[in-house]
Amino acid sequence: MQRYAIILAAGKGTRMKSKRYKVLHEVAGKPMIEHVLTNVKASGVDQVVTVVGHGADEVKETLGHQSLYSFQAEQLGTAHAVKTAQDHLSSKEGTTLVVCGDTPLITAETLQALIEHHERNKAHVTVLSATAINPFGYGRIIRNEQQQLERIVEEKDASAAEKTISEISSGIFAFDNQVLFETLNQVRNDNAQGEYYLPDAVALILHNHGIAEVYHTDDFDEIIGVNDRVMLSQAEKALQQRVNDYHMRNGVTLIDPTQTYIAPDVEIGMDTVIEPGVRITGRTTIGENVHVGQYSEIHNSKIAAHVEIKQSVINDSEVGAYTKVGPFAQLRPGSNLGKDVKVGNFVEVKKAELKDGAKVSHLSYIGDAEVGERTNIGCGSITVNYDGINKFRTVIGRDAFIGCNTNLIAPVTVGDGSLIAAGSTITDDIPNDSLALARARQITKEGYVKK
């Protein structure tokens, strides 16, 4: 059986108080709509149609060719929004999911279970429900004596007894596709808002003696719809807890999960320890037995096993096994550290390769450079890579020793095994196994001050 999905993403989101289109607000570093689309596709659907309205171009730019699109010019209700997808889907047979684009916590597993429950029971419609501690504002699930769905009653229409019901409709449905579009033609807008509501389609299916089912999720957080900044923060917190719990259950120690931010796409090996205040984002991968010290930031980087990172910032870089970074070091994009490298306090590395065993321990800038195996760069040394117009490259061979406070004026090459005296400014290439001194001669005049 073919499976389809319609994502409702046409609402303006006025309660967000923002110029940004609602479903493009980010949760865990990604637009809400991207979370929804990722999980919808992972649930096994064959085709997705996203209903856009306000901010249509921005949504299309975000999702690209992952979805087809329909346009809702006027916001005339959820049933009207679904109906705009008819050119893509109305002639097809199968199961169609309807999912809200502002529910970033919905999981592929729940959507897949909803579809399977729907198809197993040969239902015409299946409602995803959840139990709310405070159900105010949600449509209530009303069941008959056989515990089958009798109707969905909205808050404003509910009796006092019905308002005590805690099982609520999530606004997420699975439909028989043909039944869906046939029923949408019967939905009326004779209500105070003059809009066409999707729950009315469910009521019509029940009225026509169709088969209506309910699938209940135990995780209320999954169906949270984000309508304002408060709910956005709640979704952020819930998703972060889900991500952190996943890593801890897979062998990662988070000293304080409430103060640790890990993006959903991050991969972390077992026996790694993450201290409080750490932020790990993008498609970062971290190996086993890594220690990430407090207040470190790692983005889109690859960290091998047994690395120690102390209070440092790492962006778009690679760090080899047994390497030590920090405290207070910065690896800018394009940095590549080999095995057993040391990048110490207040060292900045940019677009440079430090090969196995290289050490830059203090107060240095290494940019647009290659540093050979086991080379030691002394405190305060700098690769002078920029002349105001162009960037130039410095190449330092293996087993070299660069004395403190050395300026390497690129382009320049330092040979294997060479030694540069402290305080030198190097402008010429240095052959292998050479000593280079390039500093002003000291002049001492004894007794000069007393004259």
Instruction: Catalogue the active-site residues.
Output: 362
Tokens of residue 355, six digits: 């090969």
Phi, psi of 43 (to 5 degrees): -75, -10
Distance of alpha carbon 213 from the chain centroid: 34
Pick the closest to residue 377 from 395, 358, 390 (CA basis): 358
Is 77 labelled a binding residue? yes
Is 227 labelled a binding residue? yes
Is 422 labelled a binding residue? yes
Residue pair 176/158 in contact by the 8 Å Cβ criterion: no
Residues 6+ apart with CB under 8 A from 45: 3, 4, 5, 97
Is 225 labelled a binding residue? no
Is 213 labelled a binding residue? no
Is 320 labelled a binding residue? no
Is 140 labelled a binding residue? no
Is 8 labelled a binding residue? yes
Is 22 labelled a binding residue? yes
Is 308 labelled a binding residue? no
Is 154 labelled a binding residue? yes
Q: How far is CA 10 from CA 58, 73, 216, 226, 315, in A?
A: 12, 9, 26, 14, 35
What does the alpha-carbon distance between residue 351 and residue 370 come to, in Å, rounded to a whole number?
A: 9
Is 97 labelled a binding residue? no
Residues 6+ apart with CB under 8 A from 324: 307, 308, 310, 341, 342, 343, 344
Is 126 labelled a binding residue? no
Is 78 labelled a binding residue? yes
What does the alpha-carbon distance between residue 304 and residue 240 come to, in Å, rounded to a whole number?
A: 24
3-state SS assignment for residue 436: strand
Residues forming beta bridges with residue 153, ordered by sequence position: 140
- Name the binding residues for UDP-N-acetyl-alpha-D-glucosamine: 8-11, 22, 72, 77-78, 139, 154, 227, 332, 350, 365, 376
- Name the binding residues: 8-11, 22, 72, 77-78, 102, 139, 154, 227, 332, 350, 365, 376, 385-386, 422, 439
- Name the binding residues for Mg(2+): 102, 227
- Name the binding residues for acetyl-CoA: 385-386, 422, 439
